[in-house]
């Protein structure tokens, strides 16, 4: 390996691998491009009981009917053990795919089980879709901000992510049109648009009904495939459901669903709904990756869907998360009036614009020292923006802990503002690497 390659490898901020690693010079470029997600690196600290974690997106599954599940699982193993514990097909079990057709019906999707591929959570659907579409350097258009786990996958396949902004009504059609036109003019082909239209992670917003057909029309006109990631769509706090982009152009959209937020993430079952041709490739990619998705998980979920009132469970989740959302917004009103945020109507997250002068990434170690954790907005952009935002999740802590967490955060922000007022913020840099002058920090 020549010196410049070694230097560039050493320069890469990988979060893993150093000269102490004897195999350091053998890794593929894609591995060196991987970095520990900002959420992941926090888990160790955030999981300490004394820390109020507003960081992770872990669902609160305490309300699950554990006795029912225990009996159901015992019965399944007793009666169908050899089947449950055997390998299965790469597309996933037909009996679950048939149930998933029913699960998607309340949102208005009319699907055929043959067009569904079961994956190891929707995270793995993101992985195999990126694998089958992306060559190194290809362009993916994604919302700014975007789900950190998707950005990680896109980076691992060496994609070029081009962000398009969203506002309180979701992805902005004019901005999308402008970006696609510009990329076309530059001769850069866009492989797909990645969007989370419902109860966005991290922005908490949903795409308005008016914008949905506009976004689909723009993509159709520019011949851009849409990857619609929808793990939170059923968690609307007013029992509302929103039109999936998939229903507006079934051939032009790959739709991702998951049981992680509406049932339990431990089963690791999600799915991709796509047209016949894409599905055939997804099945091959799935077989390469896992041979067959978890039979145990799939058949357990199929049985749960058949024998339990799963919709009642989802309604319980909605009201529990709604109460936590209320606790979050009340606490923000009370303790952080100088910040601004959206009031999410579903899902897990509040996206908070921090007061002028605060750098959310730089402040994080001080926050965890003060026993509160969040995710800095920088995690949700491919290009380092986002230091003026933080994601606060309200899914996991109790309402009381949420209030206490926001109170602690307000103390940290207050002392941070005092420091900035007195000394400036040496850690805050503009894109050009020039320090931001103090006068702009107030």
Would you say 173 or 265 has its CB closer to ligand PMP? 265
Query: What is the distance between the alpha carbons of residues 234 and 321, in angstroms, rounded to a whole number?
Result: 12
Which of 127, 122, 97 shows the shortest CA–CA distance to 111? 97
Contact positions with ligand PMP (CB under 6 A) in 168-207: 196, 201
Would you say 234 or 358 has its CB closer to ligand PMP? 234
Contact between 318 and 236 under an 8 Å Cβ cutoff? The reply is: yes
Would you say 256 or 358 has its CB closer to ligand PMP? 256
Residues contacting 77, CB < 8 A, separation 6+:
84, 85
Would you say 313 or 370 has its CB closer to ligand PMP? 313
Residues contacting 49, CB < 8 A, separation 6+:
none
Would you say 203 or 328 has its CB closer to ligand PMP? 203
Binding ligand PMP (rule: CB under 6 A), the pick from 92, 265, 293, 405 is 265
Binding ligand PMP (rule: CB under 6 A), the pick from 51, 54, 55, 57 is 57
Contact positions with ligand PMP (CB under 6 A) in 211-230: 229
Applying CB under 6 A, does 258 fall inside the site for ligand PMP?
yes
Q: Which residues pair with 391 in a beta bridge?
A: 351, 375
What is the pattern of x (binds ligand PMP, CB under 6 A) and - over residues 105-124?
----------------xxx-
Query: Min. distance of Cβ 294 from ligand PMP in angstroms?
Result: 12
Which of 332, 315, 376, 325 shows the shortest CA–CA distance to 347? 325
Would you say 148 or 358 has its CB closer to ligand PMP? 148
Alpha-helix runs per DSSP H in 245-398:
245-248, 276-290, 295-307, 310-335, 360-369
Tokens read off for 27: 């890794």
Query: What is the distance between the alpha carbons of residues 295 and 122, in angstroms, rounded to a whole number?
Result: 16
Q: Which DSSP symbol is given to 161?
A: E
Binding ligand PMP (rule: CB under 6 A), the pick from 145, 231, 244, 386 is 231
The residue with its CB nearest to ligand PMP is 121
Applying CB under 6 A, does 147 fall inside the site for ligand PMP?
yes
Binding ligand PMP (rule: CB under 6 A), the pick from 145, 197, 236, 270 is 270
Applying CB under 6 A, does 242 fall inside the site for ligand PMP?
no
Considering CB under 6 A, how many residues would be counted as binding ligand PMP? 14
Query: What is the distance between the alpha carbons of residues 157 and 50, in angstroms, rounded to a whole number?
Result: 38
State the DSSP H helix or E strand holding residue 351, giving kind and residue range, or none if neither: strand 349-353
| Torsional sign, CA 428, 432, 433, 435 | negative
Query: Min. distance of Cβ 422 from ligand PMP in angstroms?
Result: 39
Helix or strand or coil: residue 145? coil
Query: Min. distance of Cβ 259 from ligand PMP in angstroms?
Result: 7
Ramachandran quadrant class, 223 (left: phi over 0; alpha: psi -120 to 50; beta: rest):
left
Region of 257-265, 282-290, 311-319, 408-416 interacting with ligand PMP (CB under 6 A): 257-265
Binding ligand PMP (rule: CB under 6 A), the pick from 260, 350, 393, 410 is 260
Residues in touch with ligand PMP (CB under 6 A): 57, 121-123, 147, 149, 196, 201, 229, 231, 258, 260, 265, 270
């Amino acid at each position: 390996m020549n010196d410049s390659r070694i230097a560039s490898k050493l320069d890469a901020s990988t979060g893993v691998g150093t000269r102490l690693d004897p195999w350091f010079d053998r890794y593929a470029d894609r591995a060196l491009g991987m970095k520990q997600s900002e959420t992941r690196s926090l888990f160790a600290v955030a999981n300490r009981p004394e820390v109020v974690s507003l960081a992770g997106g872990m669902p609160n599954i305490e309300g699950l009917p554990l006795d029912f599940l225990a009996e159901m699982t015992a019965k399944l193993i007793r009666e169908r053990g050899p089947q449950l514990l055997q390998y299965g097909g790469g597309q996933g079990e037909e009996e679950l795919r048939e149930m998933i057709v029913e699960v998607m019906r309340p949102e208005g999707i009319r699907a055929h089980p043959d067009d569904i591929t079961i994956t190891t959570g929707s995270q793995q659907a993101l992985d195999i879709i990126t694998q089958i579409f992306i060559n190194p350097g290809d362009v993916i258009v994604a919302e700014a901000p975007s789900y950190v786990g998707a950005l990680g996958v896109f980076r691992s396949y060496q994609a070029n992510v081009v962000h398009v902004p969203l506002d309180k009504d979701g992805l902005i059609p004019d901005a999308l049109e402008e970006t696609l036109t510009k990329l076309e003019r530059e001769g850069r082909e866009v492989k797909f648009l990645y969007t989370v239209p419902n109860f966005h992670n991290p922005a908490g917003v949903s795409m308005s009904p008016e914008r949905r057909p506009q976004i689909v029309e723009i993509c159709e006109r520019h011949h851009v495939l849409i990857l619609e990631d929808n793990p939170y769509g059923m968690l609307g706090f007013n029992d509302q459901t929103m039109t999936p982009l998939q229903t507006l152009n079934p051939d032009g959209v790959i739709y991702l669903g998951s049981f992680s937020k509406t049932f339990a993430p431990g089963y690791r079952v999600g799915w991709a709904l796509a047209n016949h041709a894409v599905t055939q490739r997804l099945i091959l990619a799935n077989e390469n990756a896992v041979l067959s998705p978890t039979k145990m998980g799939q058949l357990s979920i199929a049985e749960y869907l058949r024998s339990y009132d799963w919709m009642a469970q989802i309604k319980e989740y909605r009201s529990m998360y709604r109460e936590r959302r209320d606790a979050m917004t009340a606490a923000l009103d009370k303790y952080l009036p100088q910040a601004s945020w959206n009031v999410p109507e579903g899902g897990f997250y509040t996206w908070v614009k921090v007061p002028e002068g605060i750098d959310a990434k730089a402040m994080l170690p001080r926050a965890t020292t003060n026993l509160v954790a969040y995710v800095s907005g920088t995690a949700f952009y491919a290009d380092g923006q986002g230091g003026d935002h933080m994601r606060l999740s309200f899914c996991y802590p109790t309402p009381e802990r949420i209030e206490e967490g926001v109170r602690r955060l307000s103390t940290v922000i207050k002392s941070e503002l005092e420091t900035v007022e007195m000394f400036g913020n040496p850690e805050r840099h503009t894109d050009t690497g020039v320090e931001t002058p103090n006068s702009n920090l107030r």
